[in-house]
Structure formats: C-alpha cells, structure tokens
Amino acid sequence: MEKKAPENGEFSFASNTPRSTGRKGLPKIQTQDHNKKANDVCHDDSGTPVKAKTIDELHSLQRKKSAPTTPIKGTQGAFTALSEEERHKQQLQSISASLASLTRETGPKLVKGDPARKGEGQQIAHHHHITPTLSASDSALKFTHILYNLSPAELYEQAIKYEKGSFITSTGALATLSGAKTGRSPRDKRVVRDETTEEDLWWGKGSPNIEMDEHTFMVNRERAVDYLNSLEKVFVNDQFLNWDPEHRIKVRIVSARAYHSLFMHNMCIRPTLEELEDFGTPDFTIYNAGQFPCNRYTHYMTSSTSIDINLARKEMVILGTQYAGEMKKGLFGVMHYLMPKRQILSLHSGCNMGKDGDVALFFGLSGTGKTTLSTDHNRYLIGDDEHCWSENGVSNIEGGCYAKCIDLSREKEPDIWNAIKFGTVLENVVFDEHTREVDYIDKSVTENTRAAYPIEYIPNAKIPCVGPHPKNVILLACDAFGVLPPVSKLSLAQTMYHFISGYTALVAGTEDGIKEPQATFSACFGAAFIMMHPTKYAAMLAEKMQKHGATGWLVNTGWSGGSYGSGNRIKLAYTRRIIDAIHSGCLLNAKYKKTEVFGLEIPTEIEGVPSEILDPVNTWSDENAYKDTQLKLAGLFKKNFEVFANYKIGKDSMLKEEILAAGPNY
C-alpha cells in the first residue's frame, strides 16, 4: 500500500483514494510512517502488514486446509489409485444413495460444505455433485449441502448461528434445547413386523416392540427423507458402534441439527481419518427429521411422534421428537438384535475395571447410578451405559457418556463435573444469562438435564474401551420404598430373578407434597431397548456368569430410614464405600445374615459405612411400617414376575424352579 509522508506533522490516512491534501478543516491522520523513527509518533503496530487486500482474504488466511487425508496405505495396495477427488465423489454418492427418495429416480444433488461459505474457497465445485436424471420433485432442482463429520468447533458455530437456544456455558460446553420432548417417547416406538422379526422378536404384552408394517415404515421414511432434502443443509455422521473390532458396526446418522450431529459425534465411536476413507456403506442408517412431525393419519400412528425401526432395511426414522437420546437408544435396540444373533450379550449397564483387571458391570434403570458409580476415580472407565459381553470379554458399544446433571456437584461427582467443557453437549440446563454459569439445581426446563461427552473426557477412561470377563455383576435399584438393604450378595438364581424383574422405584412429580413411590419393573433393566424375549438375555447372562465365576450383588441407591418422604436417599459416599468393598473382594468373604421376605444375604459390617444402616429394619423408626412396606413391595415383585413364571430360562429347566424360588417368600 502506498504510504504518504506527513507534510506538516499531522496524521493522515494512507489511502489509495484521492488525497485529502489541501482540504481544510479536519486534521489529517496517519497510522504508519516508515520514513520516520518508530518512536516519533504514536502508532499501534509496527509489524509488516498482513498479506491480504480484503477482509475476506484476511479471513481466508485464518483457515488452514486440514491435513490431507492420510495417503492411502502405501504403494502396495491395489485400490490406492483413487484420487482425492474420486474418493470425495464416492463419498457423496454413498450419502446421496442414503438420502434417495424411493419413489424418484435418484438421490438428491449434494454438495459438501456450508452454504453460507460459498465462494470462500470451499469445495462447492460442480464436478462434485451427482448428475441428476429424471426427477419428480422440485427438490431435485436445488442442492442439499452435506456437512459431513464436522468437528466439534464447526458444529458449535453451526449451532450458535442457526439453532435458537444454543449457548456456550462458562466452562465451554454447548448448552442446547431439545425442544418439546426432554426424554424418550417409548410409546411412539415402532418396529417393522415381517416374516423374520415375527419369529425373532418379542411381541405382545410387556414388549417394547410396537408393530408397524413395511409400507407404513416407507411412508414415514419418505416423509423424513423429503423433509431432510428440502433443507439447505443436512449433517451426516459416519461412525462406529462397539469397541470390539470383530463386532464393530458402521452407522450413518443424517440429521438436521448441529446439536444432533455433535451429540452423536460424542456418543458413537469416532473414526480416524483412515477409517473414514474406507468407510464404504453403513451397516445401519438413522434419518433424524425430528423437527418435522409424522402424519397422524398414517396407519399405526398415535401421536405426531414416531421412532421407527426397520431391521431388514437397516434403517431408523425419527419424526416429531428432537430428544437426542432417541438416536442413542434406538441404536442400542438394534445392537440388542444384532449381537445376540452372534451369541454376544448386549447389556444396559455401566462397566469399569480395577488396576488389577477386575471388571464390574453396573445394571440399573434410568437414574439408579450406572453413570455415577461406573465413573470412579480409582478405576478405569470402560463405559457408562451400553456394553457387550462376548467370548472376548466386555466391550463398550459407545464412544461417550450421557450423564444426568440434576443436582450435579463438583464435590460428589468431580470427574463428571470436569467433563462438562468444550465439546460437551449440555441439554436443557438453565444458566445465568450473563456469566453463563449453569445452575444444576434448576429444573425449569426438565428434571432430565443431561451432558453428553466423549469418553476420553473422563481422565481414567480405558481406551480402547474393552476389558476381560466381569468378576462382579452389580444390580442397582433406587428403592424409594426404603426397604431393600443397601447391599446384598446374590446367588446366581437371585441374580437372575432380579435381572429379569428389573426393579426400581422413583417418585413422580413432587409438586404437591409427598407422593407414593412408583415401582417400575423393566426386564433386563432395560425393557425399552431389548428386542427379543427377556429370558433370552437372562439365559445368556446366567451362562456367562457361571462360566466366568462372576458374583451378583443387589445395591439399593435409593432410600434408607423410611420411604420417600420420611427417610433419605442413601448418601452417595456410603454407596461408593459399598461398591469399593465389592471391588476389593472384602465383601465376598464378610459375615452375612439373611433377611426375611426377600431372603437377601446382607453383610453386618463394611468399612466406612455405619453398620446400623446395613439392615434397613434398624433405620426405620416404626418397625411395623417397615414390615408392611416390605410386604407391599414383595407383592409387587410377585405380581410382576407372574408373566415370566411359565418361561424356561435356558436349557436347564431346573433353573426355572430355582429362579422362581429366589424371589420373595412370605
């Protein structure tokens, strides 16, 4: 840029435009003067000027192109000849095929990259799009931009720019809203019933699989795909499930929100660049059109929300709910089908490992402590929610954790607290408008506030997330009746009885004073996600526990000293000491006594836990009230188990009698 020497000691703009020299009035301003000694005049920078002529050019200097995707496995490979462009084209073709409407000829025209960055050196080159052929809709006349496996930083920008309710919190997490739904909608889940699934899956009373036919699935699929293709841009994630390399599943998630893409980035296993190059065709695809409702006039629909699984097509469609957990748990359902077919047990459990390689599984319904207790500073975290148990040992299905945040405290759950940082999705929390500090106590949006973070945000995560066969199987129940002991050692039959029962008791809305605890029984501690009959999973668990000599435990993380309203929730610190004693092996050989009614073996002492709380009868001020409540709960257990009484569990029919006998007796 041309520099003008000062004429009279005044400052002047260095400018290409006609000089202001000679104009009277305003003083001339100059910012740089190379002819004078630097310290003669006041100026704000002495460096060389930037190599840009325009602001746009300047901005383009900020962004370095990502390192070229890994040069493909050296020189010996047969298919190494693919150019970067060819690879790119194949990728877009694969995505176009995913998004193809089945009533039209082709997939949509796709372009990689953010439409807002057109002309900024982005890859919008026309030779990358797929040439359209005959098309029956105007959507064929437009491009759909594909935001493919964006990084967390890019997704933050997309969310903040385009999604209302997205904010950066004081610790760097992305606070977001999931819309009208802040939890899953199990009653809106549908599974296509065809010849195969008719035989394989669990249908009817108690089953989570509500049927739909293939045609209706296609109606909803078309609705979702049309909605997604009508958008200017969609997000595509190509990722993996299951850390066991032999049984890894490739999943593709097509979604309309950066929130959904970041959530799945965190929750699924993130591919390396090499793995992404060779990704190929996914094993399962999710079409998340959650902002768009299903059509209530469609057969089988009972609301404007529908979550549809078609195992034959390997597809899932989401309409009418933006709650991201639907994607996570939808895929979990798929794993509950695919894995047992390979003799691998899929489990709704957390999992961690001690320094000596002792593995523990933590089963339990929502809110019972899987995430809280598997995240243990003294142990390696394998995973917090979904696992497989195969001949090779255990493996996490996911690449991230999904922690409940209500009443989260730095003191009680430091590792989870510290994981809520840049990259973490924070759903439906309330924060200070100015400081952006999150108020974890606030339930204004929902009680089900959640944080989704990559597992490596937990400092002692075990990566890869696999481990040897479990030594302890811990069944968690949050018993709001306050009658189950804080810990009991279970026989194998008792473990099966409680695993099939899947008990917890929570307290529904607490607005108008004290409410009765609500008992929930959910087979395998996850009836909402299993696909086959519960006894199928139970038999596999029994067989594996027996074979590998695992011990079962029942831990009450709920009430002590009375039911909800009079007693209190057992202190997390005590539960942690109990869990420590299980891990260390101390509890295996402790002194035990047997409780009445439930017939549970309870220890008389545990280090760090007041002995009097170990037998709940001691903690109730009214012993009769305790006995009545215990009988009441036992009755609920019995009633729930009736439907299973006629099922044989595994090949051993002896086991059936034993399991029945392992329930409450009174």
Ligand X SMILES: Nc1ncnc2c1ncn2[C@@H]1O[C@H](COP(=O)(O)OP(=O)(O)OP(=O)(O)O)[C@@H](O)[C@H]1O
Catalytic residue annotation:
184, 329, 348, 366, 370-371, 385, 450
Q: Determine the Cα–Cα distance for residues 253 and 238; give it in Å rounded to an integer.
A: 7
Binding partner selected for residue 152 from ligand OAA, Ca ion, ligand X, none, CB under the kind-specific 5 to 8 Å limit: none
What Å distances lie between residue 216 and 220, 231, 298, 312, 313, CA to CA? 6, 23, 7, 14, 13
Binding status of residue 396 toward Ca ion by CB under 5 A: no
Our CA angle for 145, 148, 149, nearest 5°, is 155
Binding status of residue 385 toward Mn ion by CB under 5 A: yes
Give the start-end residues of each E strand in 484-607.
487-490, 503-507, 517-521, 551-556, 559-560, 568-569, 592-594, 601-603
- Positive or negative: CA dihedral 528, 530, 536, 539: negative
Residue closer to Mn ion by CB (options 376, 385) is 385
Other Cβ atoms closer than 10 A to 524: 26
Binding status of residue 446 toward ligand X by CB under 6 A: no
Binding status of residue 349 toward Ca ion by CB under 5 A: no
Q: Which two tokens stand for residue 219?
A: 């109606």
Show the DSSP H helices in 2-72 as ranges.
Answer: 55-62
Q: Which two tokens stand for residue 342?
A: 């390979």
Q: Determine the Cα–Cα distance for residues 514 and 512; give it in Å rounded to an integer.
A: 7
What Å distances lie between residue 236 and 122, 145, 224, 256, 353, CA to CA? 17, 10, 14, 9, 34
Site string for ligand X, 494-523 (x = CB under 6 A): ------------------------------
Q: Are 520 and 504 in contact (CB under 8 A)?
A: yes
Binding status of residue 369 toward ligand X by CB under 6 A: yes
Q: Determine the Cα–Cα distance for residues 418 and 416; give it in Å rounded to an integer.
A: 5
Judged by CB under 6 A, the residue of 320, 364, 561, 603 near ligand X is: 364
Show the DSSP H helices in 375-429 as ranges.
Answer: 414-419
Per DSSP, the residues of 253-309 read: EEES-HHHHHHHHHHSBPPPHHHHHT--S-SEEEEEETTSPPPTTSTT--SS-EEEE
Q: Name the residue whose CB lies closest to Mn ion.
A: 385
Instruction: Name which of residues 178 to 217 contact ligand OAA (CB under 6 A).
Output: 183-184
Of 201-209, 419-427, 506-514, 567-575, which part binds ligand X (CB under 6 A)? 567-575
Q: Determine the Cα–Cα distance for residues 222 and 298; give it in Å rounded to an integer.
A: 12
Judged by CB under 6 A, the residue of 256, 294, 403, 425 near ligand X is: 403
Binding partner selected for residue 625 from ligand OAA, Mn ion, ligand X, none, CB under the kind-specific 5 to 8 Å limit: none
Site string for ligand X, 574-613 (x = CB under 6 A): -x--------------------------------------
In the complex, minimum distance from the CB of residue 405 to ligand X, in angstroms, rounded to a whole number? 8
In the complex, minimum distance from the CB of residue 76 to ligand OAA, in angstroms, rounded to a whole number? 45
Of 96-104, 152-160, 325-333, 617-625, which part binds ligand OAA (CB under 6 A)? 325-333
Three-state DSSP class for residue 228: helix
In the complex, minimum distance from the CB of residue 384 to Ca ion, in angstroms, rounded to a whole number? 5
Bridge-partner residues for 504, per DSSP? 520
Judged by CB under 6 A, the residue of 247, 329, 336, 498 near ligand OAA is: 329
Binding partner selected for residue 329 from Mn ion, Ca ion, ligand OAA, none, CB under the kind-specific 5 to 8 Å limit: ligand OAA
Residue closer to ligand OAA by CB (options 184, 489) is 184
Binding status of residue 182 toward ligand X by CB under 6 A: no
In the complex, minimum distance from the CB of residue 183 to ligand OAA, in angstroms, rounded to a whole number? 6
Q: Determine the Cα–Cα distance for residues 270 and 63; give it in Å rounded to an integer.
A: 23
Binding partner selected for residue 507 from Mn ion, Ca ion, ligand X, none, CB under the kind-specific 5 to 8 Å limit: none
Write 662-665 long-range contacts (CB < 8 A, 24+): 662/491, 662/493, 662/494, 662/496, 662/497, 662/599, 663/497, 663/501, 663/637, 663/638, 664/597, 664/598, 664/599, 664/634, 664/637, 664/638, 665/597, 665/599
Of 186-194, 339-347, 377-385, 504-512, which part binds Mn ion (CB under 5 A)? 377-385
In the complex, minimum distance from the CB of residue 519 to ligand X, in angstroms, rounded to a whole number? 17
Pick from 352, 315, 353: nearest CA to 331: 315
Binding status of residue 261 toward ligand OAA by CB under 6 A: no
589 DSSP assignment:
G
Instruction: Name which of residues 302 to 321 contact ligand OAA (CB under 6 A).
Output: none
Binding partner selected for residue 184 from ligand X, ligand OAA, Ca ion, none, CB under the kind-specific 5 to 8 Å limit: ligand OAA
Binding status of residue 402 toward ligand X by CB under 6 A: yes
Q: Determine the Cα–Cα distance for residues 637 and 600; give it in Å rounded to an integer.
A: 14
Binding status of residue 368 toward ligand X by CB under 6 A: yes
Q: Are 92 and 112 in contact (CB under 8 A)?
A: yes
Angle formed by the axes of helices 623-641 and 492-501, nearest 10°: 80
Instruction: Name which of residues 372 to 411 contact ligand OAA (CB under 6 A).
Output: 385, 402
Binding partner selected for residue 364 from Ca ion, ligand OAA, ligand X, none, CB under the kind-specific 5 to 8 Å limit: ligand X
In the complex, minimum distance from the CB of residue 369 to Ca ion, in angstroms, rounded to a whole number? 9
Binding status of residue 371 toward Ca ion by CB under 5 A: yes
Binding status of residue 166 toward Ca ion by CB under 5 A: no
Three-state DSSP class for residue 2: coil
Judged by CB under 6 A, the residue of 557, 563, 595, 629 near ligand X is: 557
Instruction: Name which of residues 129 to 188 contact ligand OAA (CB under 6 A).
Output: 183-184
Binding status of residue 629 toward Ca ion by CB under 5 A: no
* Residue that has been written with the tokens 């057992």 in this structure: 570
Binding partner selected for residue 372 from Ca ion, ligand X, Mn ion, none, CB under the kind-specific 5 to 8 Å limit: ligand X
Our CA angle for 370, 376, 379, nearest 5°, is 115
List interacting residues with ligand X (CB under 6 A).
364, 366-373, 385, 402-404, 406, 413, 557, 569-570, 572, 575
List interacting residues with ligand OAA (CB under 6 A).
183-184, 325, 328-329, 366, 385, 402
List interacting residues with Mn ion (CB under 5 A).
385
List interacting residues with Ca ion (CB under 5 A).
370-371, 385
